Amino acid sequence: MLGGGRVRFEPSKPLPRPAIVVLVLAFANFVIGWLLLLTINQWANQFPTLGHSYQFHMRGNRTYYLSSSIGWYLDNELWIYFGGFALFFLIAYLYGVRWRRVR
């Protein structure tokens, strides 16, 4: 039957501890970035100051001014997440973990 069963993948051996740590950090990064974006109107400046000159544009034509490090993080947090996820699979591969299909 086409498309009738769910396809799952499971590792061939237990995942190495560094891979699990990287995966947890990647998900923590995603949650922190999401929470920062969700609450940005409560803590970000709406006018530039000496320490908050990084422009961060949101939907609805809103511009917030952040410190350069937080602004860079919010602009790149999704790529950091994808990089962490890719690093998880790379570490698992280097430790000899293979993924097999299970029905």
Rounded distance between C-alpha atoms, residue 32 and residue 73, angstroms: 10
- Whether residue 25 lies inside any domain: the answer is yes
**Amino acid 70: pLDDT:** 94
Residue 1, pLDDT > 60, answer no
Predicted confidence (pLDDT) at residue 6 exceeds the cutoff of 90: no
Whether residue 12 is contained in a domain is answered as no
Give residue 2's pLDDT. 59
The total number of structural domains in the chain stands at: 1
Q: Do the domain assignments include residue 102?
A: no
Residue 31 lies in a domain: yes
Establish if 41 belongs to a structural domain.
Answer: yes
Nearest-10 Cα torsion for 17, 20, 26, 31: -120
State which residues form the domain around 27. Answer: 18-97
Please write the tens of the pLDDT for every residue from 23-74. Answer: 999 999 999 999 999 999 899 989 998 888 889 988 788 899 999 999 999 9
